[in-house]
Structure 1
Amino acid sequence: MLLHDREILEALSSSKVLTSMITPAVLISASGTLIFSTSGRLGRVFDRVNALKAEVEGIAAKRLSHPRERLEHVTELMAIQGIRGRLLQRALSALYTATALFIASSIAIAMNVAFGGPDTSWAPTGIALFGGLFLFAASALLLYESRFNLKFIEGQMRLVNYLKDQITVDDDKPS
């Protein structure tokens, strides 16, 4: 074995490399958790769009009362769900990018520990900082999206209250 090959093998077998690579694991885990919950939120948007579609079908089949009001309501809520879907997709893109950057920073740390020196130590940090910026952007998008979720809920409550107010109950009739 050549001297150069032995130095490379020793550098890669050092526990210092593995220890240094683990450092970004917390950020990778945080990104993964946000990806999981954001995917769930996107799934709920899909479910709500399907429920609104069923309501439109009920209106078209004349199975539901107050068709004009319901159609206005569905139109408003579909717009909100469209905005939510786009925001969640952008947040997922940012989260996947952040995850990739954190993984790249882990690899860059290993490469720097094994082969680099003080003059290249800025690279892993720079990559991780970019990952942090994408994580921040995703969090901001998710915060903004949550406001639209509240608008959707409020819209549903308005329709329920309207329909409730349209019901006339004759309390004077004997049961």
Structure 2
Amino acid sequence: MFDSFTSSEILSGMITPAVLVSACASLIFSTANRLGRIFDRVNLLKSEVELLLDGKRNYQKERLVYMRHQLSVQKKRAVLIQRSMAFLYLATSLFIISSLTLAFTLAFAKQQTWFATIVAILGGVCLFIASALLFYESRYNLTFINRQIEFVEFLERELQEK
């Protein structure tokens, strides 16, 4: 039944998508953690805005400008994280479909083994897109960190001038 394929080719064809599924799972886990950190930061910023509105913080105008910018950055990061997670889930699904398709085609339609390869390639493309989105999101995180440092430096300068 499998005359044209060696057992190692069949095994590697079935295991490769499984390894890629494992890689996607690791990225999904770490990406979900990143989304959780964004949620925590937004809650912290919300608390700061509430304190400002109650008049419990100095430099209200400067802080409000800072908070608006930070919330904007966090909103963009959350969108990028969500999109990357969608691509990671799609890649995982495609890798699983690829493995199942290879098994099915080897058992019943040997001439159609190219279909499993196409599905696996699409999974790889989705994994690449998710990785690119995560890279782009990390740049926004750097923006957030730099802006925080700049605001702390502003507060330090204001304190020294008093």
Counterpart in the other structure of 2:159: 167
Counterpart in the other structure of 2:54: 61
Asked if 2 retains the 8 angstrom alpha-carbon contact of 1:95 and 1:134, the reply is yes
Aligned-residue Cα RMSD (Å) equals 2.0
The one of 127, 133, 137 equivalent to 1:135 is 127
C-alpha distance in structure 1 between counterparts of 2:146 and 2:138, whole Å: 12
Counterpart in the other structure of 1:35: 28
- Tell me if 1:79 matches 2:72: yes
The one of 124, 137, 159 equivalent to 1:145 is 137
- Tell me if 1:21 matches 2:17: no
Give matches, 1:41-56, under 5 Å: 41-56=34-49
Q: How many residues align?
A: 157
Paired residue secondary structure (1:167): helix
Quick one: which amino acid aligns to residue 54 of structure 1?
S
Counterpart in the other structure of 1:101: 94
C-alpha distance in structure 1 between counterparts of 2:133 and 2:160, whole Å: 44
Quick one: which amino acid aligns to residue 147 of structure 1?
R
User: Deviation at 1:21?
Assistant: 2.5
C-alpha distance in structure 2 between counterparts of 1:94 and 1:45, whole Å: 19
What TM-score, normalized by structure 1, do the two folds share?
Answer: 0.84
C-alpha distance in structure 1 between counterparts of 2:161 and 2:73, whole Å: 33
Asked if 2 retains the 8 angstrom alpha-carbon contact of 1:104 and 1:127, the reply is yes
C-alpha distance in structure 1 between counterparts of 2:35 and 2:42, whole Å: 11
User: Deviation at 1:23?
Assistant: 2.6
C-alpha distance in structure 1 between counterparts of 2:32 and 2:138, whole Å: 14
Quick one: which amino acid aligns to residue 50 of structure 1?
N
Asked if 2 retains the 8 angstrom alpha-carbon contact of 1:17 and 1:114, the reply is no
C-alpha distance in structure 2 between counterparts of 1:144 and 1:15, whole Å: 38
What TM-score, normalized by structure 2, do the two folds share?
Answer: 0.90
Structure with max Cα Rg: 1
User: Deviation at 1:65?
Assistant: 1.0
User: Deviation at 1:56?
Assistant: 0.1
Asked if 2 retains the 8 angstrom alpha-carbon contact of 1:91 and 1:139, the reply is yes
Q: Which runs of 5+ in 2 are unaligned?
A: 2-6
Counterpart in the other structure of 2:81: 88
C-alpha distance in structure 1 between counterparts of 2:139 and 2:13, whole Å: 39
C-alpha distance in structure 2 between counterparts of 1:126 and 1:16, whole Å: 17
C-alpha distance in structure 1 between counterparts of 2:128 and 2:46, whole Å: 34
Counterpart in the other structure of 1:11: none
Counterpart in the other structure of 1:3: none
Counterpart in the other structure of 2:4: none
User: Deviation at 1:25?
Assistant: 0.9
